[in-house]
Structure 1
């Protein structure tokens, strides 16, 4: 991460998120401080807590996207949870420690993937041998009788046909060269249909324990040799991975690099005494989250995990409540506060075309699969952005998500008729947009429901 300076982190985020410069800078500094702490002597580093961040702003302005892109950039284990899914201790539902368990599961998945990649060549060779064995089974050796074992008599091994070994090797080579890729074979794979997950954490733990006690369930599957090579190579790589090494690395990975994103934290911001009943449970959830954010040791199936240096990012719209409505102790654990602004018409216009995952690029690529070439004129893009901005201001502000709704409505007929259209060139200009949305935008009551 040495090359990830705050400036470079912001430049990376600029490729995916329009605007919100203050939030990008805050996140970049928090990440760089993590790197700085890792270079300090251990006795000083352990005293430095991560600079947790509270993102405040309406939906659809980039809060979640910032957190997700940061995790992708740093290759860190990342989980997104919703504060409303948790209940106070003593109630049926998910306990807050499950967010740490989810983070460790993600860390295990990442480390396992890294470790499996180290065995790629060996796993591929093993897969070739298994496929060859399926296509040309070896002769089973006869079992030795008990008398042979007692008296130590060695069984005379049947000498292998001189040409059999060579022919078997030739079969492996043909599979390797892809000559048999389209042939269908039957393989046995593990049936990974696990126990159903519920919101009750204790029930999940019991189900997992019972599942682990049972022998692996195998199922037969007919696939092409091409698909079998991939499936069996992944299976062989998993068998070659040392799970003890994976567990140790994953726990360290989660503790040192893990990012937990707590969304909708404003929904649990009610304080005792404000309106009675439900607020007591909300404050209870806050008090349960507090020790996790402060630094606690959580028991997982892979071992004990300390949360002292996990980076927590929380987000909320705070339309009704305010950050000051959180309990004071929890407020203090999120020292960096960033307010994200609503998206302007210019921001919405840029979102349509500038980011790597730009919406216009997505929709044109989808329709291109039907041989339909759709292009958007400048005035067409201006019209979409203007309508999105107006609807956001006159109804609920849902940020960039409004663009999805409008584009779906604009391209609805094209998406339906694309396979049958003879004219394969379509230009979406201002007239086209207003033709598709005219009646809806003229009547604000209708736009409330449709856009």
Structure 2
């Protein structure tokens, strides 16, 4: 069951601070008390606003792993292990920022950056987007394939931090506790374990450049990013409290793990025998396997938590279409309702949509393009179907029949 969240400060319903749910909004006990203090004049409005700006963000960021996973469950289907890993990493990260002073000793707490390994469309980016949205922290998403070593054509690694500052509206303090998601990190793997004699400016060079910002350092970043403004003022950003989440498909990693385990990766019967095992074998990944794949040991050492995501099954696809808060079917139903049209999908139609997405190997993100293609003609004539019910059948998905209209 999803937790109720206060619309004013973003805190989650709890025993100490219950949230009252109304028809159009929710408010917590702390906000009611604050509002009462302002109205009665016991606390000046401006002073209260200043306190409110400090506390809610801290409270929101210190949600428990279970609360964070509950939020992810509303938007991401399956992938329980990855959701737990990310929830624990985020909880520990922000606990380290806000509660480090509670125990007075000289122990230093390092941040736990995360590496997500999973096929395309399995939900890696969505996990990072959902976490940042509900924690109200800035998020910057970068594609590792566009990055190059400083001085070469392409994006400098520092520009990733510039994007985070821009996502924070120029507020450096807010950016310094944000999240950076680097996708396609497997594409910057070097071709072999042996160090190249020539410059590998978009592979190992990028990994080397990432080391400093992922570990945590004060770096100078261009305010506008890029190299088009050579005279621009540099901003100083401390990356110590920025959480880095890296993601990649890591195609071929299964073969490396199989070789390590002594399995035969060649032969006529290999494909049939190992298909079932392939699903789970990536979950056995270790640091050595990633080194063999082409990531440098120094970078792996800075990505402390590794989570693997499973390939999405046909049943998962059907759940993705119908269950999350932003499910595609829910979105289409709402669009049709705006024109006073009722939209229905038969179960067989949903299964066929899921089958097509798996066949195209585009993952969950491929569902929208398939649906857009099917619904185009219906949407074009939508205003003519006012006060009617349109039912999408399997034949409509296969484009062999028109939808049922009643």
TM-score by length of 1: 0.59
Q: Which residue of 2 aligns with 1:243?
A: none
Equivalence map 1:2-401=2 (5 Å): 2=59, 4-37=63-96, 38-41=98-101, 47-109=108-170, 250-255=171-176, 257-271=177-191, 279=200, 281-300=202-221, 301=233, 303-320=235-252, 323-324=290-291, 325-389=294-358, 391-392=359-360, 397-401=361-365
Secondary structure in structure 2 of the residue aligned to 1:88: coil
Matched with 1:403 is 367
Report the CA distance between 1:379 and its aligned residue.
3.0
The whole-number CA distance in structure 2 between the counterparts of 1:77 and 1:422 is 42
What's the CA shift string for 1:410-450, capped at 9, x where partnerless? 22321233234578321112343344499xxxxxxxxxxxx
Point out where structure 1 has 5 or more consecutive residues left out of the alignment. Answer: 110-249, 439-451
CA-based RMSD:
2.7
Deviations 1:111-133 (A, max 9, x none): xxxxxxxxxxxxxxxxxxxxxxx
Distance 1:368 1:276 in 2: 62
Q: Distance in 2 between matches of 1:363 and 1:409?
A: 13
Residues 258 and 435 of structure 1: CA distance in aligned 2, closer, same or farther (over 3 Å): closer
Q: Equivalent residue for 1:427?
A: 391
TM-score, structure 2 as length reference:
0.65
Cα deviations across residues 208-244 of structure 1 (Å, max 9, x unaligned)? xxxxxxxxxxxxxxxxxxxxxxxxxxxxxxxxxxxxx
Alignment CA distance shift 1:274-1:411 (3 Å): farther
Matched residues in 2 for 1:95 and 1:437: separation?
Answer: 52
Is the 1:22–1:338 contact (alpha carbons within 8 Å) kept by the matching residues of 2? yes
> Quick one: structure 1 residues 18 and 87, their matched pair in 2 at CA, closer, same or farther if it must change by over 3 Å?
same
Contact 2:340/2:387 (<8 A) preserved: no
Greater displacement, 291-300 / 61-70? 291-300
**Offset of 1:74 from its aligned partner?**
1.1
CA distance in 1, matches of 2:106, 2:331: 44
Contact 1:367–1:373, Cα closer than 8 Å, also in 2: yes
For 2:390 and 2:74, locate their aligned partners in 1 and report how far apart those are by CA, in whole Å.
28
Instruction: Give the match's secondary structure for 1:81.
Output: strand
Larger fraction in helix: 1
Which residue of structure 1 lines up, in the alignment, with residue 377 of structure 2?
Answer: 413
Separation (CA, whole Å) in 2 of partners of 1:420 and 1:275: 64
Alpha-carbon contact 2:183-2:248 (below 8 Å) kept: yes
Listed as ranges, the gaps of 5+ residues in structure 2 are 1-57, 222-232, 254-288
CA drift of 1:44 comes to 5.9
CA contact (8 A) 2:152 2:201 kept: no
Equivalents in 2 of 1:90, 1:386: separation in Å?
Answer: 46
Secondary structure of the residue aligned to 2:307 is strand
How far did residue 372 of structure 1 move? 3.1
CA contact (8 A) 1:380 1:429 kept: yes
Aligned with 1:103: secondary structure? helix
Offset of residue 388 of structure 1: 3.0
Q: With CA pairs under 8 Å and 6+ residues apart, which has the higher RCO, 1 or 2?
A: 1
Q: Alpha-carbon deviation of 1:344? A: 0.7
CA distance in 2 between partners of 1:83 and 1:40 (Å): 32
Larger Rg: 1
CA contact (8 A) 1:410 1:437 kept: no
Partner Cα distance (1:92, 1:383) in 2: 44
